[in-house]
Structure 1
Amino acid sequence: MTPGLTIRAVPVGIGHYLPERIVPNAEFEAMEGLETSDAWIKSRSGIERRHFAAEGETTSQMAIAAATKALAHAGLEADDIDAVIVATSTPDLTFPSVATMVQAGLGMAGGFAFDVQAVCAGFVYALANADALIVSGQAKRVLVIGAETFSRIMDWTDRTTCVLFGDGAGALILEARESAGTSDDHGILSTDLHSDGSHRDLLYVDGGVSSTGTAGVLRMQGKEVFRHAVEKLTKTAEAALAKAGVGIADVDWIVPHQANIRIITGTVKKFGLPMDKVIVTVQDHGNTSAASIPLAMSVGVGDGRIKSGDLLVTEAIGGGLAWGAVVMRW
Structure 2
Amino acid sequence: MLSVGIQALAVHLPEGLRTNSWWNEETIQNNDNNELAYRHNSRYQFYDEAMAPYLADPFLGSIERRVVVDPNESSVSLGMKAATDVLQAAAISASEIDGLIATTMFADRVGIGDAGYLANELSIRGGAFNVEATCAGSMAALLTACALVKSGQKNRVLVVATAFFSRAIDDDDIALRFYGDASAAFIVGPVEDGFGLLGSDSLHLGSTCGTWFLDTVEDKHFPLKQRIRVRADASVTHMLRKTSESHLRYTVDGALRKAELTVDDVQCVAANAPTAWHAEFSANALGIDKEKVINTFPSTAYTGPVVMPFNLYTAVVQQRIKPGEIIMLYAYGAHSEASAAVFRWPNVITGTPPAPASVINHK
Shorter-chain TM-score bucket reads: 0.7 to 0.9
Q: Is the 8 A contact 2:203 2:247 kept in 1?
A: no
Structure 1 residues 41 and 286: CA distance shift in structure 2, 3 A: farther
- Corresponding letter in the other structure for 1:9: V
Tell whether 2:68 aligns with 1:57.
no
Instruction: Provide the rounded CA distance (Å) in 2 between the counterparts of 1:186 and 1:223.
Output: 38
- Corresponding residue for residue 82 of structure 2: 66
1:188 CA displacement: 1.3
Tell whether 2:138 aligns with 1:101.
no
Instruction: Provide the rounded CA distance (Å) in 1 between the counterparts of 2:116 and 2:214.
Output: 24
Tell whether 2:253 aligns with 1:244.
no
Structure 1 residues 242 and 33: CA distance shift in structure 2, 3 A: closer
Q: Is the 8 A contact 1:312 1:328 kept in 2?
A: yes
- Determine which of 282, 293, 304 is the counterpart of 1:289: 304
- Determine which of 313, 336, 339 is the counterpart of 1:324: 339
- Corresponding residue for residue 188 of structure 1: 197
Instruction: Provide the rounded CA distance (Å) in 2 between the counterparts of 1:10 and 1:96.
Output: 28
Unaligned runs of at least 5 residues, structure 1:
1-5, 180-184
Alignment TM-score, normalising by the size of structure 1: 0.87
Q: Is the 8 A contact 2:184 2:306 kept in 1?
A: yes
Structure 1 residues 294-303 or 76-85, which shifts more? 294-303
- Corresponding residue for residue 4 of structure 2: 9
Aligned-pair identity (%) = 27
- Determine which of 198, 201, 211 is the counterpart of 1:202: 211
Give runs of aligned pairs for residues 35-184 of structure 1, distance below 5 A.
35=30, 45-54=60-69, 55-94=71-110, 96-108=112-124, 110-159=125-174, 161-177=175-191, 179=193
Instruction: Provide the rounded CA distance (Å) in 2 between the counterparts of 1:224 and 1:95.
Output: 26
1:40 CA displacement: 6.2
Instruction: Provide the rounded CA distance (Å) in 2 between the counterparts of 1:163 and 1:44.
Output: 6
- Corresponding residue for residue 228 of structure 2: 215
- Corresponding residue for residue 3 of structure 1: none
- Corresponding letter in the other structure for 2:90: A
Alignment TM-score, normalising by the size of structure 2: 0.80
Instruction: Provide the rounded CA distance (Å) in 2 between the counterparts of 1:276 and 1:33.
Output: 31
1:43 CA displacement: 6.9
Q: Is the 8 A contact 1:146 1:292 kept in 2?
A: no
Structure 1 residues 172 and 42: CA distance shift in structure 2, 3 A: farther
- Corresponding letter in the other structure for 1:319: A
Instruction: Provide the rounded CA distance (Å) in 2 between the counterparts of 1:144 and 1:279.
Output: 21
Deviations 1:33-55 (A, max 9, x none): 77358x86857642211111122
Deviations 1:72-107 (A, max 9, x none): 222212221111111223112136531122112222
**Following superposition, which runs of at least 4 residues in structure 1 exceed 4 angstroms of deviation?**
30-34, 39-44
Number of paired residues? 315
1:214 CA displacement: 6.0
Instruction: Provide the rounded CA distance (Å) in 2 between the counterparts of 1:296 and 1:226.
Output: 22
1:252 CA displacement: 1.0
Instruction: Provide the rounded CA distance (Å) in 2 between the counterparts of 1:88 and 1:312.
Output: 25
Instruction: Provide the rounded CA distance (Å) in 2 between the counterparts of 1:189 and 1:251.
Output: 12
Instruction: Provide the rounded CA distance (Å) in 1 between the counterparts of 2:192 and 2:91.
Output: 20
- Corresponding letter in the other structure for 2:16: R
1:173 CA displacement: 0.8
SS in 1 for 2:335: coil
Structure 1 residues 22-31 or 112-121, which shifts more? 22-31
Instruction: Provide the rounded CA distance (Å) in 2 between the counterparts of 1:42 and 1:61.
Output: 35
- Corresponding letter in the other structure for 2:101: I
1:206 CA displacement: 4.3
1:129 CA displacement: 0.7
Q: Is the 8 A contact 1:230 1:263 kept in 2?
A: no
Instruction: Provide the rounded CA distance (Å) in 2 between the counterparts of 1:260 and 1:96.
Output: 29
